[in-house]
Amino acid sequence: MKKLKFALLFLSSIFMFSCGGDGDTSTKHEVAKKTDDASKGAGSKEISITSAEMERGSQIFFDKCAGCHGSSRKGATGPSLLPDGDGKSPATKALGTAGIKVFIEYGTPGGMPEWKGILSDEDIELMTRFLQVDPPPIPPFGIDKMKDTWKLKVPVADRPTKPQHKRNIDNYFGVIMRDAGKVAIIDGDTKEKLVVLKTGFAVHILRTSASGRYIYSVGRDGRITMIDTYTKVPQIVAEVRAGLDSRSVEVSKYKGYEDKYLVFGGYSPSHIAIFDAQTLEPISVTPTAGKACDGDHEFIEEARVASIVASHTDPVWICNVKERGMVDIVDYTNPKKPKITEIPSARFLHDGGWDSSEKYFLVAANASNKVVVIDVPNKKLVKIIDTGIKPHPGRGVNIKNKWGNLWGTSHLGENKISFIKTNPGKGQWTVVKEIKGSGSGGGSLFVKSHPKSHHLWLDRTLNPKAELNSAVDVFDTRTLELVKTLKAPEGVDGRAVHFEYNKAGDEVWVSYFMGKKSAIVIYNDKTLKVKQIIQGDWVENPTGKFNVYNTTHDIN
């Protein structure tokens, strides 16, 4: 309910632009023109939609569909959804109400989930009409708007200069409760919940400052929240809205710049924004719109910033511009006017992580079924490698065995983990080994290992089969054989998603979400036995978990 209220509030700000802000729920918006051409199918009927329905449709679209189809419905991982089509995907008006309904209700083999049973019949009917009218424009969100939303709750001078407790901050975990819009901070040594903080709508990821003191969250409402771990109970010390929709945030990690700057990647509007990492005061905004990597001369307005990582060898961030397939190397030594080197690669860039030397960054171009390798110190493209259908590595996994130093990714579109050799010698930057998880079909979102472990963990979160999406596979990193498939423990249900190791590398934390009994399940990484199950009213659909030490040092 709270989520709904927030989304409506958020959307009312958007619709001030598209509907004139009149809030007139009785006005009919006859957006799609009537056509007599019967060959255009059910879409030949006139479509009308009220302002209130437009608002609700946009809220549903923003919440459930924009991630794949793009905020302006021009398509990304999923096809475009425009009334008159775009030359590549069919016009939604031609698909018509009945055609669209089938897609929404039953999904597609290409990875679109079934929404029947998740969306009400009423909402599905509304979406069939919403998708046949023009999408509302995305309002601007510049630095002045950011400054208006900036709240410095505890100025730097009023913060403690050393920890006010004896706990081990390095082994703190930040856990995202996506649907509640909250982040829990858990002491990884004692497993105590220290605090649950309200951080904004659908928080997506967390990052820690280079010193490990601060935890930053970012979510689908474009809000960045800064949490201080030095106080007895971790507390929010600053927040700012940097856009309307986002998925990533990162800090400066290069020597001399620790805890100095923070970068935000905007999905909507599409921009790179830089902030003071101590206060979250906005410093600069650079739009990412431009031409695509592959010579397509179309100017791409919706050029969303997907994953971002901070280099340890240079004062730069690597920001991946999704729709354009551009890897932007952002030099933050002059944050007011950052120097950006664009490296054309492949579309659509999504998530990725470092190889074990932390010099090469590997990122999934999921619409091209490829992984792109960037030599960060030399700011150049090394290779674009075919891996499988829709690679989705998270930050990927680094392991070492007889095949070499390997970086691995699982896939959304097929049951495969591909391993790319990263060390010099024969086979470098090629796929040297592929393995399968249990059962069939893809749907994996994340893989994980740790330098001190001989295990590699695989989830199958989006696989349609409940026995697969609720279980995790564990492999031996030396042989790459499947060791065990771990089913959800008794008293836990939902889909298993995302892994995080503790600092020592001997425990693995797994989230269970989208079920009736969500939980964080902690496994002993050696014995693969359940060590502890964290449940309770406050554990609401946990998703990402971020150990302070591992996140700060990019242990993946």
Residues of this chain that interact with ligand DHE (CB under 6 A) are 67-68, 178, 204-205, 247-248, 306-308, 350-351, 394-395, 445, 497-498, 543-544
Of all residues in the shown chain, the one whose CB is closest to ligand DHE is 67
Kindly tell me which of 307 and 469 has the beta carbon lying closer to ligand DHE.
307
Helix, coil or strand: residue 455: strand
Spatial distance between the Cα atoms of 193 and 187, rounded to a whole number of angstroms: 6
Helix, coil or strand: residue 404: strand
Among candidate residues 19, 54, 69, 146, the one labeled active-site is 69
Kindly tell me which of 91 and 321 has the beta carbon lying closer to ligand DHE.
321
Spatial distance between the Cα atoms of 340 and 263, rounded to a whole number of angstroms: 13
The answer to whether residue 165 is catalytic is: no
Spatial distance between the Cα atoms of 340 and 193, rounded to a whole number of angstroms: 41
> DSSP assignment of 276-316, as one string?
ETTT--EEEEEE--EE-TTS--SEES---EEEEEE-SSSSE
Asked if residue 325 lies in contact with residue 295, where contact means CB atoms within 8 angstroms, the answer is no
Spatial distance between the Cα atoms of 252 and 207, rounded to a whole number of angstroms: 11
Asked if residue 216 lies in contact with residue 239, where contact means CB atoms within 8 angstroms, the answer is no
Token couple for 136: 């509302």
Cα separation values, 522 from 481, 511, 529, Å: 22, 9, 9
Among candidate residues 350, 411, 450, 455, the one labeled active-site is 350
Kindly tell me which of 91 and 177 has the beta carbon lying closer to ligand DHE.
177
Kindly tell me which of 19 and 251 has the beta carbon lying closer to ligand DHE.
251
Specify the residue for token string 């005061």: 281
Among candidate residues 392, 411, 450, 455, the one labeled active-site is 392
The count of other CB atoms within 10 Å of the CB of residue 211 is 12
The answer to whether residue 19 is catalytic is: no
Side chain identity, residue 137: P
Nearest one of 132, 108, 150, 153 to 54, comparing CA atoms: 132
Kindly tell me which of 268 and 543 has the beta carbon lying closer to ligand DHE.
543
Kindly tell me which of 94 and 210 has the beta carbon lying closer to ligand DHE.
210
The answer to whether residue 455 is catalytic is: no
Smallest gap, in angstroms, from Cβ of residue 479 to ligand DHE?
25
| DSSP 8-state secondary structure symbol assigned to residue 93 | H
Measured over the CA atoms of residue 80, residue 86, residue 88 and residue 94, the dihedral's sign is positive
Token couple for 207: 């990052």
Spatial distance between the Cα atoms of 74 and 87, rounded to a whole number of angstroms: 11
Measured over the CA atoms of residue 396, residue 405, residue 435 and residue 531, the dihedral's sign is negative
Nearest one of 260, 219, 215 to 238, comparing CA atoms: 215
Nearest one of 471, 412, 517 to 111, comparing CA atoms: 412
The answer to whether residue 112 is catalytic is: yes
Among candidate residues 112, 165, 312, 454, the one labeled active-site is 112
Token couple for 102: 């089938």
Kindly tell me which of 47 and 365 has the beta carbon lying closer to ligand DHE.
365
Among candidate residues 29, 68, 312, 454, the one labeled active-site is 68
Kindly tell me which of 205 and 520 has the beta carbon lying closer to ligand DHE.
205
Among candidate residues 19, 54, 65, 326, the one labeled active-site is 65
For strand 245-251 and strand 542-547, is the pairing parallel, antiparallel, or unpaired? unpaired
Asked if residue 435 lies in contact with residue 475, where contact means CB atoms within 8 angstroms, the answer is yes
Side chain identity, residue 384: I
The answer to whether residue 1 is catalytic is: no
Kindly tell me which of 229 and 444 has the beta carbon lying closer to ligand DHE.
444
Smallest gap, in angstroms, from Cβ of residue 42 to ligand DHE?
28
For strand 245-251 and strand 235-241, is the pairing parallel, antiparallel, or unpaired? unpaired
Kindly tell me which of 49 and 462 has the beta carbon lying closer to ligand DHE.
462
Asked if residue 207 lies in contact with residue 546, where contact means CB atoms within 8 angstroms, the answer is yes
The answer to whether residue 350 is catalytic is: yes
347: Cα separation from own chain's centroid: 16
163 forms beta bridges with: none
Specify the residue for token string 């990304």: 76
Catalytic residues: 65, 68-69, 112, 350, 392
